[in-house]
Amino acid sequence: MFTTITIGVAGENHVPSTKIEETNKHIDVFVEKIKRLPGLSWTNICKVGREDPRRLIHSLKVGLSLTLVSLLYLMEPLFENIGQNAIWAVMTVVVVLEFTAGATLCKGLNRGFGTLLAGSLAFLIGYIAQESGRVCRAVFIGAAVFVIGTAATYIRFFPYIKKNYDYGVVIFLLTFNLITVSSYRVHNVLKIAHDRFYTIAIGCGICLLMSLIVFPNWSGEDLHNSTVSKLEGLAKSIEVCVNEYFSNEEPSCATNKSSEDPIYKGYKAVLDSKSTDETLALHASWEPRHSKHCYRFPWQQYVKLGGVLRHFGYTVVALHGCLQTEIQTPRLVRSLFRDPCILVAGEVSKALMELADSIRNRRQFSPQILSDHLHEALHDLDAALKSQPRLFLGPNNNDNTSNMLALAAAATARQKPKQDRGISLSSVKTDTSALLEWKFKRNNTNAEQANESERKALRPTLSKIAMTSLEFSEALPFAAFASLLLESVARLDLVIEEVEELGRIANFREFNADDDQIILTTEKPEMKNAAPLQNHLPCHGAD
């Protein structure tokens, strides 16, 4: 009895000790994370700055702007003239000062004009309302707020207004309602509108000064450079994708993770660029003409080119998917088409790099962008595909239909009772040998021997079908890969047309034979620097 009690007590003490050990482990892990936190934080801070040094400059500009506008509060003479309305200048700097000059101009001018228009209209309504009694004045102000608020909100639904002046309409509504409603209790409404306008003008002026003069970041340049990087990313993605497809090395486990795959990084920026391109083009349209010859760059043409590049990028995505399919064409079969496919991909990559270089240098691309090597490579690939008709079309055998029917019969027979197998088989076998075989089995009274004979007769046929089916299924992935490679050549023409149109509208300089040419290399390129430049900028969307 005492032994039993001792064991029970020991068992009860064992459970709390296990919980204590688990708690201690969790505490140790938490302490270890706390110790690593400063190092990880510093690493992330440095990483953000190294990705785009302009971020640090922009942060310093915002800090300096806030310091300057805070002088309206800190300096006594300025505070006496402006008073508590100085807070509107601080709010303007926080809201208006964006990363690029175009975004700052868009929001700053919208805020300034919206405030000016709202203040003027509010002063006019307040002046008219003063001539009536107190009750009529309240009714008139309420009716004005209702009408103006309804009209301004409805105007926001117009596509052009929504795209370009939505922020200005919002500021107009805010300022108009604040001043108009305040005028009912405060008689000096002109002073309210005057102070509001001047404080916002001071804030906008500081923002524009910092954006346009102190290390400016142009939205147009960002859009221009992102277009170049997208072309380069697609060029390197398609070339590396084809080289990897025909490589004799097995893909490593690391490349299975899409976030770490260099091919994925090459086209990801293209597929995710629609909203960014449209926003940058909108903000670039607000920027002054800072080019050498003061040409007005067709920013919307960059957006159209981005759409064509996304259309091209879908083909690269499909090519990349061929590397990760479960059913793969044997490498021995792929090697039959290796040289023409790699040459086609190299020529497409060379053309894309030439287009990227022409946009970067703002010049027309080479007339020989589609060289004879591409046509020769396409001809060689076509000849190689025609030389292997059996691989893609299967053997030219008249018994294929009956063989497939026999395979279907076997699958049906496995699902039905044994006594029904003979009926299902006879309904699908239609060739002469099969009918003679069936008559022989029907005269056989021994059902066991008949079933055994049926299985022996079907086994060679099913094995032959299995081999033919396996060969054909393994050929299909390469057929899809080759088709997508040819599709990339067809879509390349659309990209060339858009770049040519961009150069014509933007007045790119003529091509000079002395310009640097893109040299085609058939070596497998290193991808450590192949990823396109990512747009690490903050969101420029209108608030």
Walk along the chain (543 residues) and give the pLDDT tens digit of each residue.
Answer: 444 444 444 444 455 677 787 777 778 777 777 877 777 777 788 788 788 888 899 999 999 999 998 888 778 777 777 767 778 888 889 889 999 998 999 998 998 899 889 888 988 887 787 777 777 888 888 899 999 999 999 999 999 999 889 999 999 999 898 888 887 776 676 777 777 788 888 888 899 999 888 888 898 889 999 999 999 999 999 988 998 888 877 655 444 455 567 788 888 889 888 888 999 999 988 888 655 544 567 888 999 999 999 999 999 999 988 888 888 878 887 888 888 888 888 889 999 999 999 999 888 888 777 777 788 888 888 887 777 766 655 554 444 443 433 344 444 444 444 444 433 333 333 344 444 454 455 555 455 555 555 555 444 444 444 434 445 666 788 888 888 998 998 899 899 999 999 988 888 888 776 655 554 444 443 433 333 334 444 444 333
CB atoms within 10 A of CB 451: 15
pLDDT digits (tens, 9 = 90+) for 33-88: 787 777 777 778 878 878 888 889 999 999 999 999 888 877 877 777 776 777 88
What is the rounded distance in angstroms from the CA atom of residue 38 to the CA atom of residue 180? 52
**Three-class SS of 447-502:** HHHHHHHHHHHHHHHHHHHHHHHHHHHHHHHHHHHHHHHHHHHHHHHHHHHHHHHH
The torsion angles phi and psi of 363, rounded to 5 degrees, stand at -135, 160
Instruction: Give the predicted TM-score (pTM) of the model.
Output: 0.71
Three-state secondary-structure class, residue 516? coil
Distances (CA, A) of 444 to 362, 422, 439, 451, 454: 87, 12, 9, 10, 12
Three-state secondary-structure class, residue 164? helix
CB 443 within 8 A of CB 369: no
Cα–chain-centroid distance for residue 351? 23
